[in-house]
Amino acid sequence: MKIAFFTETFLPKVDGIVTRLTKTIEFLTKNGDEVIVFCPEGCPDSYKGATIVGVAAMPLPLYPELKLGLPGPAVSDKLEEFKPDLVHVVNPAVLGLGGIWLAKTNNIPLIASYHTHLPKYLEHYGMGMLEPLLWELLKAAHNQALLNLCTSTAMVNELEDKGIQRTALWQRGVDTENFRPELRSEKMREKLFGKYQNTDSLLIYVGRLSAEKQIERIKPVLDNIPGACLALVGDGPYRGQLEKIFENTNTNFIGYLSGEELASAYASGDIFLFPSSTETLGLVLLEAMAAGCPVIGANKGGIPDIINNGINGCLYNPDEKDNGERSLIEATKKILADKNKKEAMRKEARKEAEQWDWNQATLQLQKYYAETLENIS
């Protein structure tokens, strides 16, 4: 099968969408499919046997790491030359809308997938009043597709409630070979503790430092657990504000880590805290669980699909009147207070992650592709 992807985000950017795409491409090409990817410029020319086509793009003002590309005649020519059996548009925005138009114009079967909960991001950038309009735009785009894939049951339900049709669940995946408990190390713990070596417990967050991730919700946890240190792994536009918010707390800003260093950071934490309530899935949670780290996440969006409360981690309620402050503090204290429970959670977290293999997720995707083509033949 020949598949053309249109995506608003790709390498060298690193996030959950790029991870899913790169793993998907790797397994598609390994299983004999031909792949071409249209994405913002700055990308490599190829990846794991797939052809990558960079499109001139401009950074989104409120979200500069996201570049918006406009497909020109060269994209149309490349698509025509490749002759795909199917177009898969990932998170249609600008380049994705071009992909939808080209698929429709050339009568190519179209599939779309929803990965970023953009309507919920708006309130964190002072534009909450635009949420209904954005849903209408998303509905108009996604309803052009023969199938709309979501990465959690919560998102399947929400998209259906908003009038988006023909939805299905694209199962999660995680790399359990690279992220594993054996990479826990004292050397990495020392790095993550930084100058707070005299603290007892290591809380970690991995991901983009941005407003919608609601990282400031962790501060009351530090205020109420004096023996805890927080290591923030990652970077982003909200770092300056976070440095002010977490001033005079036991917080260490680590910056980006990758490869085995990142895997070791996950494995070396005592608890992985992920306060965001805007997640369609939360891949970093699965990576932490694969590394054997107990996790705490919001009882909202795609996260309850991953966390079995009290077994492989804990859920906190972000909708409580204090924005979940008490709930998050209590969940953290509960895990730290019981060493045996914490160790049991480590094992259960790893066990959960081992169920979700990237190859199986891609085989499921191939099945969706094949069924879509069969239904129109």
116, pLDDT greater than 80: no
Distance CA(165)–CA(326), nearest Å, equals: 38
More confident residue, 296 or 131: 296
pLDDT bracket for residue 62 (50, 70, 90):
low
| Mean pLDDT, residues 33-56 taken together | 96
Rounded to the nearest 10 degrees, what angle do helices 131-142 and 95-105 cross at? 30
| Mean pLDDT, residues 200-221 taken together | 95
Q: DSSP assignment, residue 162? A: T
More confident residue, 241 or 70: 241
Looking at residue 280, its pLDDT comes to 77
pTM exceeds 0.85: yes
Looking at residue 367, its pLDDT comes to 97
Rounded to the nearest 10 degrees, what angle do helices 259-268 and 186-193 cross at? 80
Average pLDDT, the chain: 92
138, pLDDT greater than 90: no
Whether the domain at 2-173+357-376 and the domain at 181-353 fall into the same CATH topology: yes
Closest residue by Cα to residue 204 from 226, 221, 180, 223: 221
120, pLDDT greater than 80: no
Q: Which CATH class is domain 181-353?
A: alpha beta
2-173+357-376 CATH? 3.40.50.2000
> In this prediction, what percent of the chain has a pLDDT beyond 90?
77
**163: region left, alpha or beta (phi > 0 left; psi from -120 to 50 alpha):** left
268, pLDDT greater than 80: yes
Domain range annotation of the chain: 2-173+357-376, 181-353
pLDDT bracket for residue 160 (50, 70, 90):
very high
| Mean pLDDT, residues 26-30 taken together | 96
Looking at residue 64, its pLDDT comes to 63
Looking at residue 94, its pLDDT comes to 80
pLDDT bracket for residue 322 (50, 70, 90):
confident
Looking at residue 127, its pLDDT comes to 65
pLDDT bracket for residue 123 (50, 70, 90):
low
- The string over 224-259, giving b where at least 16 C-beta atoms fall within 10 Å of a residue's C-beta and e elsewhere, is ebeebbbbbbbbbebbeebeeebeebbbbbbeebee
Q: From residue 304, give the alpha-carbon distance in Å to each of 61, 123, 132, 163, 199.
A: 32, 22, 25, 23, 31
Closest residue by Cα to residue 287 from 310, 313, 248: 313
